[in-house]
Amino acid sequence: MKRKLISFALAAMMIGSISGCSDNKTASTEVDLSGPAEENTMPISDEPITIKYWTPLYGNIKSYNDNEMFKKMEEVTGIHIEFVSPPKGQENEQYGVMLASDDLPDIIDRQIGDLYPGGIERGVEEGFFLDLSGYIDKYAPNIKKLMDEDEYYRNVMTFENGKIGAVREIMTEPELPWQGPIIRQDLLDKIGADVPRTPDELYEVLKKFKNELNIKYPMVLDTSANHIPSAGFASGWNVGTDMYWGEDEKYHYGPYDEEYTDMLLDLQKWYKEGLIDPEFATRDEKDIEAAITNGEVGFFCNQAAKIPYYTATAQSINPDIEFTTIPYLVPERGDTTSFVLNNSRVKGSAAAICATTKYPVECMKLLDFMYSEQGSEMCNFGIEGLTYEKDENGNCYYTDFYTNNPDGIDKTDMTYLYARNDGAYLKKTFRGQTDEEKATNVQNTWLIDVVRPDPAPDCKFTDEQDMTTYWQDINTYVPQYVTKTIMGMDDADSRETFVSRMQNYGMETIIEYFNTAAQAALNR
């Protein structure tokens, strides 16, 4: 389960300056929230207005202002959306500077834990963000309908005091794992091996890839994430890779568990034997993709959506190359695992409205449009007639332009250019798939031997439970520990030293905060 937690690169002085000037972040427009609820009819505005929408960049898109779907949305809503995004890798730094300034956008859309130091509730209380509860009741019929029909959605978005700081990315149903282990099927066939199901079996396969087939990189690791091993790989050691909700109904932090260190020591052995790319610590995503598509890699973890692109590019060099998903690893054959990505119907993306906006009602209606039938359809599928068509039953299916783009743009990048992937909206879990395609989806492989756990409680933290400083230290230290341990470096900390340092950084306090918040959520 991929949970990006509070990970601001904000120093304590920056946080202090934000709190100190919060009195200036007051709403510039008074809104009467009494009276009957309104329909959200289009266009939202008859007069041309511009709403600034801050969001990080995802995928390979350079600016969401280039997204064709949002251009179409502007025609429908009558609102010009001006997207503001920091350069990749500078999100937290520039976000902190922006929060401390007087130049705020109208809407901010990013991971819920990153919206404000100390949490989104604190951002509302300190006057940075609007309390959306009254706005939703009066101006957001689509969001309100979802919350009225499913108490889970309401509980996730509502604070203990009844206020709402942000609307969330809502799934129509729990989605399939989006990432997992992928292997070269053609290489497995050459060595006459079955699909590896356990770490030991994978180890034997990787050795044969190296020794019998002379594969340059039997395995690559992607260091672009905070914690290198993917959930579908770490599951082989029965451990998570971040904060996770365990079968004991308590929160744990994967790297803090002893099983995580066991995994790193096994990877250290594989690294010493030349089974892992020796330069993994300095590779970027493009380097890894080049190695994969050049036929130099035997095993890796990545997105299912990337497989068609990898296959087409690799087969242009070697038509025999075939990539296939394999089940999440388990410690022993016959075991099951609950460490599965994507099990919640409410995802991490969240959109908040800044209190300084001149257009609070229009912002609320714009966000609400993305939960309507028309708006959700646009976010999920793009532009009718170009990226999708409808059948006689109203079901939407992607066109060949989307799935086999003539310019060679893969499906993941097509989503960022012509539809929407990340962000706060109503997301179709199996968008554009027929029943047959759902059944044969390669991501189904990642549910073999998986026992889906109950969704983790959505934790809401008090001001006294501010973990920003703790996470700053931990998110700096853990990747260093992981890399040094795998590479067997002389200055790598022992398990005992690692635990001691993590305790000094506040790990036990974080776990206590999470479990206290989880119990409060369960009591609700």
Kindly tell me if the per-residue pLDDT of 9 is higher than 70.
Answer: no
Count the Cβ atoms, other than its own, within 10 Å of residue 28: 12
Say if 8 falls within a structural domain: no
Find out whether 213 and 190 touch, Cβ atoms under 8 Å.
yes
Beta strands at 323-325 and 179-184: parallel, antiparallel or unpaired:
antiparallel
Report the chain's C-alpha Rg in angstroms. 24
Cis peptide before 86 (omega within 30 of 0): no
Kindly tell me if the per-residue pLDDT of 311 is higher than 80.
Answer: yes
Same domain, 154 and 249: no
Kindly tell me if the per-residue pLDDT of 242 is higher than 80.
Answer: yes
Say if 230 falls within a structural domain: yes
What is the spatial distance between Cα 94 and Cα 249, in angstroms, rounded to a whole number? Answer: 37
Question: Mean per-residue pLDDT for 406-434?
Answer: 84
What is the spatial distance between Cα 127 and Cα 165, in angstroms, rounded to a whole number? Answer: 11
Instruction: List residues bridging with 51 in a β-sheet.
Output: 81
Kindly tell me if the per-residue pLDDT of 324 is higher than 60.
Answer: yes
Say if 363 falls within a structural domain: yes
Task: Supply the DSSP string of 107-152, one letter for each residue.
Answer: EEEEEGGGSSTT-HHHHHHTTSB---HHHHHHH-HHHHHHHHH-HH
What is the spatial distance between Cα 155 and Cα 131, in angstroms, rounded to a whole number? Answer: 15
Same domain, 24 and 145: yes
Highest mean pLDDT among 10-19, 293-302, 303-312: 293-302
Q: Give residue 308's pLDDT.
A: 86
Nearest CA among 286, 250, 258, 172 for reference residue 457? 250
Average pLDDT, the chain: 88
Question: Mean per-residue pLDDT for 149-173?
Answer: 91
Same domain, 146 and 192: no
Boundary residue ending a domain (411, 427, 443)? 427
Residue ranges of E strands in 401-498: 426-427
Same domain, 198 and 317: yes
What is the spatial distance between Cα 446 and Cα 442, in angstroms, rounded to a whole number? Answer: 8
Same domain, 170 and 183: no
Range of the domain at 389: 16-174+346-427
Count the Cβ atoms, other than its own, within 10 Å of residue 195: 17
Same domain, 168 and 188: no
Tokens of 483: 């890399």
pLDDT tens digits for 456-498? 887 878 778 889 899 999 999 999 999 999 999 999 999 999 9
What is the spatial distance between Cα 229 and Cα 221, in angstroms, rounded to a whole number? Answer: 7
pLDDT tens digits for 53-88? 999 998 778 999 999 999 999 999 999 999 999 998
User: Is the pLDDT higher at 272 or at 17?
Assistant: 272
Say if 435 falls within a structural domain: no
Say if 478 falls within a structural domain: yes
The values of phi and psi at residue 52, to 5°, are -85, 130
With left for phi above 0 and alpha for psi between -120 and 50, is residue 457 left, alpha or beta? beta
Nearest CA among 75, 77, 80, 78 for reference residue 65? 80
- Give Dmax over CA atoms of the chain in angstroms: 75
What is the spatial distance between Cα 511 and Cα 95, in angstroms, rounded to a whole number? Answer: 26
Boundary residue ending a domain (266, 295, 325)? 325
Task: Categorize the per-residue pLDDT at 359 as very low, low, confident or very high, splitting at 50, 70 and 90.
Answer: very high
Q: Give residue 432's pLDDT.
A: 59
Kindly tell me if the per-residue pLDDT of 15 is higher than 50.
Answer: no
Kindly tell me if the per-residue pLDDT of 518 is higher than 70.
Answer: yes
pLDDT tens digits for 192-222? 999 999 999 999 999 999 999 999 999 999 8
Q: Give residue 285's pLDDT.
A: 84
Task: Categorize the per-residue pLDDT at 3 as very low, low, confident or very high, splitting at 50, 70 and 90.
Answer: very low
Question: Mean per-residue pLDDT for 111-117?
Answer: 88
Instruction: List residues bridging with 217 in a β-sheet.
Output: 297
Same domain, 388 and 287: no
Question: Mean per-residue pLDDT for 421-440?
Answer: 72
What is residue 27's three-state secondary structure?
Answer: coil
CATH number of the domain to which 79 belongs = 3.40.190.10
Question: Mean per-residue pLDDT for 1-12?
Answer: 33
Same domain, 285 and 317: yes
pLDDT tens digits for 178-198? 889 999 999 999 999 999 999
Half-sphere exposure of 213 (CA within 13 A, CB side): 23
Task: Categorize the per-residue pLDDT at 13 as very low, low, confident or very high, splitting at 50, 70 and 90.
Answer: very low
Question: Mean per-residue pLDDT for 112-140?
Answer: 92
Nearest CA among 173, 157, 468, 181 for reference residue 343? 173
Say if 334 falls within a structural domain: no
With left for phi above 0 and alpha for psi between -120 and 50, is residue 340 left, alpha or beta? beta
CA 496 from centre of chain: 31
Say if 454 falls within a structural domain: no
Q: Give residue 101's pLDDT.
A: 87
Nearest CA among 455, 448, 436, 470 for reference residue 518? 455
Kindly tell me if the per-residue pLDDT of 227 is higher than 60.
Answer: no
Q: Give residue 26's pLDDT.
A: 55
What domain count does the chain have?
A: 3
The values of phi and psi at residue 454, to 5°, are -65, 145
Residues 6+ apart with CB under 8 A from 43: 76, 77, 78, 79
Task: Categorize the per-residue pLDDT at 410 as very low, low, confident or very high, splitting at 50, 70 and 90.
Answer: confident
Task: Categorize the per-residue pLDDT at 339 as very low, low, confident or very high, splitting at 50, 70 and 90.
Answer: confident
Say if 337 falls within a structural domain: no
* Rounded percentage of the chain residues whose pLDDT exceeds 70: 90
Residues 6+ apart with CB under 8 A from 373: none
Same domain, 363 and 221: no
Q: Give residue 306's pLDDT.
A: 86
Same domain, 279 and 355: no
Same domain, 126 and 203: no
Beta strands at 49-54 and 79-84: parallel, antiparallel or unpaired:
parallel
Q: Give residue 430's pLDDT.
A: 63
Beta strands at 79-84 and 251-253: parallel, antiparallel or unpaired:
unpaired
Same domain, 186 and 268: yes
Beta strands at 396-398 and 388-390: parallel, antiparallel or unpaired:
antiparallel
Q: Give residue 19's pLDDT.
A: 43
Task: Categorize the per-residue pLDDT at 520 as very low, low, confident or very high, splitting at 50, 70 and 90.
Answer: confident
Q: Give residue 23's pLDDT.
A: 47
Highest mean pLDDT among 17-26, 137-146, 166-175: 137-146
With left for phi above 0 and alpha for psi between -120 and 50, is residue 127 left, alpha or beta? left
